[in-house]
Structure 1
Amino acid sequence: MLTRDASPERSPWEVTRSVWYAMFMREAISRTMADRMGWFWMVAEPMIFILIMVAIRSFIRSDGLIVGAPFIPWMVVGLMGFFLVREGMMRGLGAVDANQALYAYRQVRPVDPVLVRNFLEGMLRSLIFLLFIAGAAMLQVDLAPDNALLAMSIWLSLWCLGLGLGLIVSVLGTLIPEVGIILRMMIMPLLILSGVIFPIHNMPHWMLEYLLLNPAVHGLEFLRQGFFEGYQRVPGSSMIYFWLVTLACLALGLALHLRFQQRLIAQ
């Protein structure tokens, strides 16, 4: 029987929820307020890419290679989707080391900061995307999705892919520091090979087969189809393949955290 001063024991879910909430508030303050230029660069980075690509378009006329979608909105959607995956992966890279002091509390596990960081990054990227859609409407550029349900479901799917990759690299990057260096070197090639800034429809068939091994290509193609009803996807793109890879990444990432949890805490 409980005494007046006693409190009921909290369930594991209540403890986990409290941990995630505290870490979320800590990460949110650090991400948005610690750096005065943080919000600026989150918005400015895709804008700079867009301006550069618009300048390049005037020379190569790449908008004529895209069937069923205007070039600038097509590229904005691709950039936003790619940045969602990229940030989900890269924010997981330093999540374990950045929260090392918190592992002194037995309620906190190395997987917690990775999950919280990915959730926060997804919220921020979603907000920035909405700002771009609103800004485009003010400029009389149609960036609203033609199929909102499809667009939102694919956006959440890309979010899950970023989480799966973030779980994997958070373990590998902590145990093998060179992994972080390799990943940072791969970001720009991945940006190009994912069909973000240039259409890959007209690539040779043998090259397209290799490009389609990248799950981000599949996700971005379906995301664009959600925004542009008449858009012709790259032949061979499949959400079944995308989700098989995404689920494999999530399972592998969680398995690595379970297997190397003590080593991550002791780093």
Structure 2
Amino acid sequence: MNNTHSVPKGARTPWQVTRSVWYAMFMREALSRTMGDRMGWFWMIFEPFALVAIMVGIRSFVSGDGLIANAPFIPWMIVGMMGFFLVREGMTRGMGAIDANSALFAYRQVQPIDPVLVRSFLEGALRSFIFLIFIGGGLMLGLDMYPDNAIRAMVAWLSLWFLGLGLGLVTSVSARLVPEVGKIVHMVSLPLLIISGVLFPLNQLPHWLLEYLMFNPIPHALEVLRLGFFENYQVIHGTSMLYFWIVTLVLNALGLLMHLRFVDRLKAK
């Protein structure tokens, strides 16, 4: 007698079910993100452009733009802003993913972690596309936006993407269980922009202060990303991708554990 269990004809494996869920959610999120608001694409491009224009204007008025060692100021700032926005969007968009898709949890195939993963992928893809637009536009305007080491730049970009995912996993659970966390995260976005070395080089700060600011993992990958674009760029002293990846892996592991531990509360809340 044959005791082997045959798979029912037409039945799907768990991976096939998960992949179908992710694809359906991705299409839903993509249409909502790009087509739901007629000004969506405009704001995604205008925000970094406006910040660059304002900062360039201030720097040119105060002391000129030749303040970055072995890197032109405007491309230096654009690269930093694009990298920072990649992390920020992964953190903030992931934070609201569970609430926005809570109605889908009525289907047992959908888990709270699914919309967070899908949003992180979508935001990373959109930010990558916008970054390519800025690179192409900068090259047409005569700016030095072509990466000297494309592999290093891509590795740093993907690293920042992964950090945004880890932050999104953690904040999505925290903000769902304690709504005040969401308000705090939005409040710290602007200070985080400043202390991450996006608008000005952190090397200009006193050494004692720089030591504390480098506990923030974002500057480490931003500096390597800039180094990928400008091969002679002087990175901040203490830049370490080892430290960056330790923090990033810890955040991702913590986020996954939190989703496993609180999955029932995330669905029921």
Q: TM-score range by the shorter chain?
A: over 0.9
In structure 2, the partner of 1:137 is 139
Whole-angstrom distance in 1 between the partners of 2:250 and 2:258: 12
Deviation of 1:144 (Å): 1.1
Query: Once the two structures are superposed, what CA deviation does each residue of 1:168-220 show, in whole Å capped at 9, x if it has no partner?
Result: 00000010000011111101101000000111112111100111000001010
Verify: 1:52 aligned to 2:54, yes or no.
Answer: yes
Whole-angstrom distance in 2 between the partners of 1:126 and 1:7: 41
Whole-angstrom distance in 1 between the partners of 2:201 and 2:66: 10
Verify: 1:97 aligned to 2:99, yes or no.
Answer: yes
Whole-angstrom distance in 2 between the partners of 1:160 and 1:62: 35
Whole-angstrom distance in 2 between the partners of 1:7 and 1:16: 19
Verify: 1:219 aligned to 2:221, yes or no.
Answer: yes
Deviation of 1:139 (Å): 0.8
Q: Secondary structure at the match of 2:52?
A: helix
Whole-angstrom distance in 2 between the partners of 1:138 and 1:217: 28
Whole-angstrom distance in 2 between the partners of 1:202 and 1:40: 34
Aligned-residue CA RMSD in angstroms? 1.2
TM, length-normalised to structure 2: 0.96
In structure 2, the partner of 1:194 is 196
TM, length-normalised to structure 1: 0.97
In structure 2, the partner of 1:39 is 41
Query: Percent identity between the aligned chains?
Result: 66
Whole-angstrom distance in 2 between the partners of 1:115 and 1:106: 17
Q: Secondary structure at the match of 1:63?
A: coil
Q: Quick one: which of 206, 209, 214 aligns to 2:208?
A: 206
1:100 aligned partner, one-letter code: S
Query: Once the two structures are superposed, what CA deviation does each residue of 1:135-157 show, in whole Å capped at 9, x if it has no partner?
Result: 11111112011100000011000
Return 133-142 or 153-162, whichever deviates more: 133-142
Contact kept? 1:89, 1:169, Cα under 8 Å: yes
In structure 2, the partner of 1:121 is 123
In structure 2, the partner of 1:3 is none
Contact kept? 1:103, 1:109, Cα under 8 Å: yes
> What 5-or-longer segments of structure 1 have no aligned partner?
1-5
Whole-angstrom distance in 1 between the partners of 2:63 and 2:246: 36
In structure 1, the partner of 2:14 is 12
Verify: 1:169 aligned to 2:171, yes or no.
Answer: yes
Whole-angstrom distance in 1 between the partners of 2:190 and 2:64: 19
Call closer, same or farther: CA 1:62–1:264 in 2, change over 3 Å: farther
Call closer, same or farther: CA 1:105–1:153 in 2, change over 3 Å: same
1:25 aligned partner, one-letter code: M
Whole-angstrom distance in 1 between the partners of 2:124 and 2:192: 20
Aligned length: 263
In structure 1, the partner of 2:149 is 147
Return 86-95 or 62-71, whichever deviates more: 62-71
